[in-house]
Amino acid sequence: MFAPFAQQGARIMKIAVLGATGATGRHVLTKALGRGWEVRALARDTAADLPEGERLTIVRGDALDADAVGRTVAGTDAVIGLIGARMGRDPALLRPNSTAVLVPAMKAAGVARLVAVTTVGVAATHPHQSWASRALLPLIVGRAHLDQAGQQEDIIGASDLDWVIVRPPRLVDDGMPDAFRLGEALPVAFSATVGRRALAQALLDLASATTPSRQALTILRH
């Protein structure tokens, strides 16, 4: 398990969220607003069913639009990246292409902290996955999705950003407590899960932390 985060203190954070209209993204927005943080969320549809709050600013645009991404991250302390195609849909290189837009946008805006979600099943997690997990995840999730998550990680890793990659297994909404474990070498069974609310909690904790940095961490239910 990873050691407790080194926090930046109680100051109000201002974060950008890409992928805010997804199931996990909505939890991130709700929890961030609950902390009193200011949030800038990129959304293709400004009428999307998102939490309301005076500290929430919706930037209309697409994750592949450099101008929209630049406007979303400008003036923020950290970025949480949740971009990814849903299972069963053509990933169309969305993960690596959007990350290739995000990284220079953050550098241009002078924003260093990036917390990005990929997935268990990328090549780097294979030594820690059970046999069933390694064999079956490509069939269920799709090898293209896993390969493109790996490409996304390569782009982030090659940058000079202050990044943390978070790799969840299957995400669930089950009303369980927001408890989680984070670690670089957690063993991952095929049945492993983590709650979306717990993932959102971890992403916000990491966004406001000074450590860890430049590490890829697996997250599991506690």
Res 90 pLDDT > 80: no
Residue 79 identity: V
∠ CA 120-124-127, nearest 5°, is 90
Q: What's the whole-model pTM score?
A: 0.92
Please report which confidence band the pLDDT of residue 7 belongs to, taking 50, 70 and 90 as the band edges.
low
Average pLDDT over residues 187-198: 94
Res 214 pLDDT > 80: yes
pLDDT of 9: 54
Asked, as a colleague might, if the bond just before 212 is cis with ω within 30 of 0, I would say yes
Res 81 pLDDT > 50: yes
Please report which confidence band the pLDDT of residue 173 belongs to, taking 50, 70 and 90 as the band edges.
confident
- Which of 3-7, 29-33, 34-38, 157-161 has the least mean pLDDT? 3-7
Res 211 pLDDT > 90: no
Compute φ and ψ for 103, nearest 5 degrees: -60, -50
DSSP H/E element including 134: helix 131-137
- Which of 38-47, 132-141, 154-163 has the least mean pLDDT? 38-47
Q: What is the pLDDT of residues 21-78, one digit of tens each?
A: 989 999 999 999 999 999 999 998 765 678 888 999 999 999 999 999 999 999 999 9
Res 1 pLDDT > 60: no
Percent of the chain with pLDDT over 90: 74
Confirm if 219 and 166 have CB atoms less than 8 A apart.
yes
What is the CA 112 to chain-centroid distance, rounded? 15
Among 179, 162, 200, 206, smallest CA distance to 7 is for 206
C-alpha R_g of the chain = 16
Res 156 pLDDT > 70: yes
Q: How many C-beta atoms surround the C-beta of residue 24 within 10 A?
A: 22
Task: Quote the CA–CA distance of 195 and 181 in Å, as a whole number.
Answer: 11
Task: Quote the CA–CA distance of 146 and 138 in Å, as a whole number.
Answer: 7
pLDDT of 204: 97
Beta bridge partners of 221: 180
Res 5 pLDDT > 80: no
pLDDT of 2: 44
For helices 196-207 and 23-34, give the axis angle rounded to 10 degrees.
Answer: 50
